[in-house]
Chain A
């Protein structure tokens, strides 16, 4: 009996020893915090999302610019438990501040609570959590403005009446749901002839969004327009539309990045879309974290702090009610101005 199992013992020992030695010694661990002790970690909804790549790259520059150390971690898919795992890891690593874009408004609260108890500052950006679970929220713009801008665009493009659908990201994302709710309110009050027939979820995954667009077009033959308030969704939808017989017939708008959308503006698939500069969002979030670590602000209304390097040139910011810090207004991109931007 035992003779057969010494090979197994050897096997497991050998295999593990090799695997672990390689993994632990070969791969780098990160440097301890920078001079000022600004140890800031960004946790986007998911990795591999160009929107967050832009915001986090700018954040990295900003953080290293003021002498801090930057780290970006995140799950490959936009899920809640993926983020909880990373929040736990960051807590164990005792980072100075966690800046995250949340996949769910309340499910992360326990993990975030543990982080704050360990003395870590928790700041949300782009997508918020419940007010009690974080120290401050950096918002691109107000949900009303974001929603209204997109509805105005689509209504104009479909001639003021018709069926529209929304291609959203994940079903629980805080920002998505707040915008969709605002859209429905605004439609009811200002555009009674425009009907929202369905909301589908592309999960911020390109292939899923692509397939969902196809499904929408085949399920609703009278569809006049699609609104996609997520950069991954609108890019996938545009790509599908531009090869489909509905190109030019079904309008598409939403939140997209100029680089992704340039081709579709040029070939006529999309007329106009909106966004803000995600790089600005990342930079502002970094300076918020810095200010909090410095003790300059605590997230109470009326606190002020300064930030540098924003494209708008604004440097002074004030914390609003509920700890919300707002970047500005959404910006509309169309054929006239799209070549001026590079993100």
Chain B
């Protein structure tokens, strides 16, 4: 019964955040379009409106999946970079390779890299912050070692592939459609399958999850494999969009993916938020980046805006949580105690049975 009222409370919370982000997006687009109609009208404007956020949306979904289990994946940008370069090399060395095969291989590469992360975190039980920090360095290093000073250029890639990067179907860019499909699939899996719901439970309170008998390690592992695969897919799409891949492809996107997820309502302490929220957060972030120059705000200020938004988002989360906890406290004292501010989120020690019997 505790779990259900908790979930009901969560549902309200989530609903509030996602709509907030949508409102922010609409206001932003509206305002910017008034200032410069070219922002959304004209074939370029509308296309870019949807195209530019697509890659970040996929990365945000990947990151959200991991954060929900109370972990973090700092290596996503390096996975994207490796996958993008691998895509380029595949086409350069095998010009007749079918596109679908290259896509599959890119995802597989991402999945393999994600498996390494997942195994290290779930088996060795080391905080994901440290592991993915290490793999970020390592994967980035491998990327540079493999690519060297080499670059994949548009000339090396098949025309149909690079055309995918800017192609539209009925005015909607293909890449955006891919992002939406990915989002829909992952959202469905997380909300309506047992594994998905268990991932939320694991992130929400892993000691309780162990007591419930949930396969905590497997769920955490799954999160990382999913994140890696999605980052791999994003890498292939990156190659299609930008058509030029160097060893620094995707650099610094890992923090944007965390920011997008956090802004979209995914709690950094795990167990709450939706991938839809994360994707919306990504859309908002990318659109802000595009809008700032148009609004005459030096583009250089966009990172400051992002930073401010992240802080605002987590403070907001905290206030809502505190209100929630207070409400719960009056009816379920023990649960409230567990959700006090000593939670260290991604730092917390991995699951162990409690040290002494609960009085």
Contact = CB atoms under 8 A, between A and B. Distances in A.
Interface residues of B, number: 31
B36 A207 contact: no
Contact of A206 (B48, B165, B246): B246
Contact of B149 (A47, A205, A210, A217): A47
Nearest to A207: B242
Given A76-B144, A214-B48, A239 B154 contact: yes
Interface in B113-168: 144, 147-151, 153-155, 165-166
B207 to A, nearest CB: 23
Interface in A15-54: 47-50, 53
Interface string B230-242: 0000000000001
A217 B293 contact: no
A316 B48 CA distance: 53
B151 A50 contact: yes
Interface of B: 36, 38-39, 42-45, 48, 52, 144, 147-151, 153-155, 165-166, 242-244, 246-249, 290, 293-294, 299
Contacts of B148: 47
Contacts of B43: 245
A48 B149 CA distance: 4
B48 A53 contact: no
6 A-B pairs closest in CB distance: A47-B149, A206-B244, A243-B166, A48-B149, A215-B293, A245-B44
Interface in A200-224: 205-207, 210, 214-215, 217-219, 221
A316 to B, nearest CB: 33
Contacts of A239: 154, 243-244
Given A221-B38, A263-B155, A206 B44 contact: no
A218 B248 contact: no
Contacts of B299: 215
Given A218-B39, A218-B44, A263-B155, A76 B247 contact: yes
Contacts of A221: 36, 38
A325 to B, nearest CB: 26
Interface in A223-244: 235-236, 239, 243-244
A218 B246 contact: no
A50 to B, nearest CB: 7
A77 interface: yes
A243 B44 CA distance: 9
Given A48-B150, A53-B149, A207-B249, A218 B243 contact: no
A219 B246 CA distance: 28
A144 interface: no
A86 interface: no
Nearest to B243: A239
* Max chain B Cβ within 10 angstroms of own Cβ: one of A53, A76, A259: A76
Contact of B38 (A48, A210, A218): A218
A48 B247 contact: yes
A71 B156 CA distance: 27
A260 B244 CA distance: 12
B191 to A, nearest CB: 34
B139 to A, nearest CB: 15
9 contacts: A48-B149, A53-B149, A214-B290, A218-B45, A219-B293, A221-B36, A239-B154, A243-B166, A246-B44
A183 B247 CA distance: 33
A205 B45 contact: no
B242 A206 contact: yes
Contacts of A77: 248
Nearest to B51: A214
Contacts of A53: 149
* Max chain A Cβ within 10 angstroms of own Cβ: one of B44, B144, B166: B44
A236 B247 contact: no
Given A215-B299, A245-B42, A206 B151 contact: yes
Nearest to A262: B155
Contacts of A206: 151, 242, 244, 246
Given A48-B149, A76-B247, A219 B44 contact: no
A243 B147 CA distance: 27
Contacts of A49: 149
A38 to B, nearest CB: 23
Nearest to A44: B149
Contacts of A236: 244
Nearest to A215: B293
* Max chain A Cβ within 10 angstroms of own Cβ: one of B147, B150, B248: B248
A93 B244 CA distance: 34
B247 A219 contact: no
Contacts of A259: 155
Nearest to B166: A243
Contacts of A205: 248
Given A50-B151, A53-B149, A215 B248 contact: no
Interface string A119-156: 00000000000000000000000000000000000000
Contact of A48 (B36, B48, B151, B155): B151
